Amino acid sequence: GFQSTGTQKAAQEACGLPTDYYATSHCFADATHHTCCMLGPEARAYADASGNPIGTAAARAYKHLHGHDPDPSEPLPWCTCFGSLVCSAYASKFADTGIKFIFDPSGVGASTGGMAAVDVPRNPSCEAKARTFFDVTAHATPGVDVETSLYTDGRCPLWDPKMHMVDVEDALDKHPVDFKVTGRQKSVHDERNVGRRVDEY
């Protein structure tokens, strides 16, 4: 069976994902699945219904790791597509979803392989700023507005990924996810609102 090693294993452990499970073998190892996202129940249901069945995948991974089904009301970890800003797009719609960290597997953009960006605001512009910093290619994902995924501008003046890099082993315990809805940003259920700029960031 599959067993991750090295920095991929460290990232999976920090995210709360199994390291010996084929369905998470791509997490933190491919060209886009770099964001450790805590998916709340609304986001999981939305993802499953929109052609990106990561809600079910997150629940199965949890059961593989812990030996029992998760509490359906609790956020669950999954590695979402950094290239399409999935986690921050969902976080802008659902208040119980947020980024735990963004892993830099190769150090291509920042020469920080094995490290992660933390304290990421709940805004697609901020995840896009990290995407530019890590030199990750933008792409589309089912259920995420294409304009958000491909053209979010990365305006996030109050958060700089290079100032928020930690060893990935420290990404979980020292930097908990902030599920609060901040500033003018609120949980929205209107697809047209996804990707709107929030000037506080």
The predicted-structure confidence for 51-61, as pLDDT tens digits, reads as follows 999 999 999 99
State the average pLDDT over residues 10-18: 95
Structure pTM?
0.86
Instruction: Compute the chain's Rg from CA coordinates.
Output: 15
The per-residue pLDDT for range 140-199, each reduced to its tens digit, is 999 999 999 999 999 999 999 999 998 888 887 666 676 654 433 333 333 333 333 333
Instruction: Give the C-alpha separation, 2 to 9, whole Å.
Output: 11
Cβ contacts of 195 within 8 Å, gap of 6 or more = 89, 92, 124, 145, 147, 148, 152
pLDDT digits (tens, 9 = 90+) for 64-91: 999 999 999 999 999 999 999 999 999 9
Average pLDDT of 119-137? 94
More confident site: 133 or 173: 133
* pLDDT higher than 50, residue 201: no
Buried b / exposed e across 5-18, counting CB within 10 Å, b at 16+?
A: eebbbbbbbbbbbb
Nearest to 103 by CA among 116, 114, 112, 113: 116
Residue 110 is predicted with a pLDDT of: 43
Non-local (6+) Cβ contacts of 150 within 8 A are 84, 138, 139, 140
**Residue 172 in contact with residue 14, Cβ under 8 Å?**
yes
Task: Report the pLDDT value the prediction gives residue 185, as an integer from 0 to 100.
Answer: 35
Give the other-Cβ count within 10 Å of 74's Cβ: 12
* Pairwise CA distance, residues 177 & 165, whole Å: 15
pLDDT of residue 188: 32
What's the mean per-residue pLDDT of the chain? 85
Percentage of the chain exceeding pLDDT 70: 81
**For tokens 């991750």, what's the residue?**
4
